[in-house]
Amino acid sequence: MTGKRTRLAVGLAAAAVALAACATNAPQDTLDPAGPYAEKIDALFKPVFWVATAVFLLVEGGILYILWRYRHRKGRERIPPQIHGNTRLEIAWTILPAVVLAGVAVPTVATIFDLAAEPPGNALNVTVRGHQWWWEFRYTDPEMQVGDNLPLVTANELVIPADRPVYLTLESAGSEFGNGLGRAVIHSFSPFRLAGKTDVIPGKTNHMTIQADEPGEYPGQCAELCGFSHGFMRFEVDALSPADFDAWVAGQKEEAAAPSGIAGDLIASTCAACHTIRGVSTAASTAPDLTHVASRDCLAGCIFPNTREELAAWLRDPPARKLGSFMPDYNLSEEEIEALVDYLETLE
Ligand code: CUA
């Protein structure tokens, strides 16, 4: 009975694994590279995978063969011939793995240096800040500035031009550095189809180059356990055609219209302490820049679609929607929430 049950459990687990491998809707499939940098990683990974598979089959096959060949049988009490001290054999099985490792190491090291090199001069520069638990994107090129040396800043969605390298500078933000609300911790920026993943380390600046061949949406997420809402620290890379990207930049550079009434009072008294809304208040930037929040597809670490309902639900009680959120529950009345949502929805 137990044997049957075990066999059933193993069978079901195997079926689940096999079925999971067949997902057609896999937007974060690292085996489906969508740009030249991801392709370089893929071109290294695939041959190494097959070399490792060959080694695995040889070693495991050898073990199974020896298990079968020298198994215990009645009337055969004798130990099989021992080959300890065979110099020729020992030299062979030292050199052979060394040759295989060298064969893997040469392209690996070459690819590491290739990926670490600074991209060509036409690259777009973006500083990515990992916060607990959302991503901030700061466009630092001179033509992307919005007055007084201020970079264009967005959150959750990294908008890039297609077919052009984007050189990312990765930083961990936190209260220790005065540019975040949570602790500065290790995150990992992982736009799987555009590049691998790179750790974001407090006090250290890392770099990564991404590029998308075609316009499209490329979701990614934080891939390093970074606290309560690590699992809710997603992002989206939106690659646009060059013309669409220029139009997006022009739109993002515009300032927001000033809020009035209840929304105006709340933003001045509460929201502006952490959020920037260019044209209204630029004093703080420890929470997402809201100047064009309505132009984004997703909210709060890209875990909710950007709709009226979700925005209202978020304002009603942020930590209830996202564990550990550094935006507290301000116990807003429904009237206040309605007024804020009405205003935020105008920020396209
Ligand atoms: Cu940030 Cu996990």
Q: For 334-348, write each residue's pLDDT tens digit.
A: 999 999 999 999 999
- Judge if the beta carbon of residue 160 lies within 6 A of ligand 1: no
Structure tokens at 46: 């695939």
* 293-317: average pLDDT: 91
Atom of ligand 1 nearest to the CA of 186: 1
- Judge if the beta carbon of residue 222 lies within 6 A of ligand 1: yes
Q: For 238-247, write each residue's pLDDT tens digit.
A: 999 999 999 9
Instruction: Determine the distance separating the centroid of ligand 1 and the alpha carbon of 225, expressed in angstroms.
Output: 5
How much is the pLDDT for 4? 85
Residue 251 identity (one-letter amino acid): G
Instruction: Determine the distance separating the centroid of ligand 1 and the alpha carbon of 228, expressed in angstroms.
Output: 9
Q: For 137-154, write each residue's pLDDT tens digit.
A: 999 999 999 977 789 999
Smallest CA separation from ligand 1 atom 1, residue:
187
Q: Where do runs of H (alpha helix) occur along the chain?
A: 2-20, 36-69, 87-116, 242-253, 261-269, 308-316, 318-321, 334-344
Structure tokens at 91: 């030299």
* 278-300: average pLDDT: 89
- Judge if the beta carbon of residue 233 lies within 6 A of ligand 1: yes
Q: At what angle do helices 334-344 and 261-269 cross, to 10 degrees?
A: 90
Structure tokens at 262: 């209840």
pLDDT band at residue 227 using 50, 70 and 90 as cut-offs: very high
Structure tokens at 67: 């298990």
* 275-302: average pLDDT: 89
Q: For 23-66, write each residue's pLDDT tens digit.
A: 778 888 888 899 999 999 999 999 999 999 999 999 999 999 99
How much is the pLDDT for 232? 94
pLDDT band at residue 309 using 50, 70 and 90 as cut-offs: very high
- Judge if the beta carbon of residue 199 lies within 6 A of ligand 1: no
Structure tokens at 164: 């052009």
Instruction: Determine the distance separating the centroid of ligand 1 and the alpha carbon of 235, expressed in angstroms.
Output: 11
Instruction: Determine the distance separating the centroid of ligand 1 and the alpha carbon of 172, expressed in angstroms.
Output: 10
Q: For 184-208, write each residue's pLDDT tens digit.
A: 999 999 999 999 899 999 999 999 9
Instruction: Determine the distance separating the centroid of ligand 1 and the alpha carbon of 186, expressed in angstroms.
Output: 7
* 108-136: average pLDDT: 93
* CA–CA gap between residue 253 and residue 162 (Å, rounded): 20
How much is the pLDDT for 78? 75
Residue 22 has pLDDT above 80, yes or no: no
Residue 307 has pLDDT above 80, yes or no: yes
* 69-81: average pLDDT: 80
Residue 2 has pLDDT above 70, yes or no: no
- Judge if the beta carbon of residue 128 lies within 6 A of ligand 1: no
- Judge if the beta carbon of residue 130 lies within 6 A of ligand 1: yes
Instruction: Determine the distance separating the centroid of ligand 1 and the alpha carbon of 3, expressed in angstroms.
Output: 42
- Judge if the beta carbon of residue 129 lies within 6 A of ligand 1: no
- Judge if the beta carbon of residue 173 lies within 6 A of ligand 1: no
Question: What distances in angstroms separate CA 127 from CA 64, 98, 172, 183, 309, one per listed residue?
Answer: 53, 41, 10, 19, 31
Atom of ligand 1 nearest to the CA of 225: 2
Instruction: Determine the distance separating the centroid of ligand 1 and the alpha carbon of 276, expressed in angstroms.
Output: 23
CATH of the domain spanning 261-344: 2.60.40.420
**Helix or strand holding residue 137 (H, E):** strand 134-139
How much is the pLDDT for 281? 85
Atom of ligand 1 nearest to the CA of 231: 2
